[in-house]
Amino acid sequence: MNGATSTEGPLWEVFVRSRRGLSHTHAGSLHAPDATMALRNARDLYTRRGEGVSIWVVPATAVIASSPDEKDPFFDPAADKAYRHPTFYEIPEGVKHL
């Protein structure tokens, strides 16, 4: 992500909630001079076909991302802990509501 302020103004990441009850998801990015205009530009650009009921805009520079170099220590340790998933457990046949 490039957060540089060029002649185009700072870059903003846009998150849109498509329906009440769902989370905001990343829709894309845009340029705007400030947060107020970023919200409006996001409304015009990312919801012109009725795609959203709520919008977040975040300065691209404010996004802190995990590094791909650390992906092994970050994510591999979670892969072998099958006991976190319900399918790990055997339940006698006929037992309900479990």
Nearest approach in angstroms of CB 78 to other proteins is 19
Q: Minimum distance from CB of 56 to other proteins (Å)?
A: 5
Least CB distance from residue 17 to other proteins, whole Å?
7
Residue 2 C-beta-side C-alpha neighbours within 13 Å: 7
Residues from 28 through 67 that contact other proteins (CB under 8 A): 28-41, 44-45, 48-49, 54, 56-58, 65, 67
Q: 3-state class of 15 per DSSP? A: strand
When asked if residue 11 is in the footprint of other proteins (CB under 8 A), the reply is yes
Q: Which tokens belong to 72?
A: 């092994």
Q: Which region, left, alpha or beta, applies to residue 78 given φ > 0 means left and ψ of -120 to 50 means alpha? A: alpha
The Cα–Cα gap between 90 and 86 comes to: 9
Of 63, 6, 56, 54, whose CA–CA distance to 32 is shortest?
A: 6
Q: Which is nearer to other proteins, 67 or 87 (CB)?
A: 67
Binding site for other proteins (CB under 8 A): 1-2, 4-9, 11, 17, 24, 28-41, 44-45, 48-49, 54, 56-58, 65, 67-68
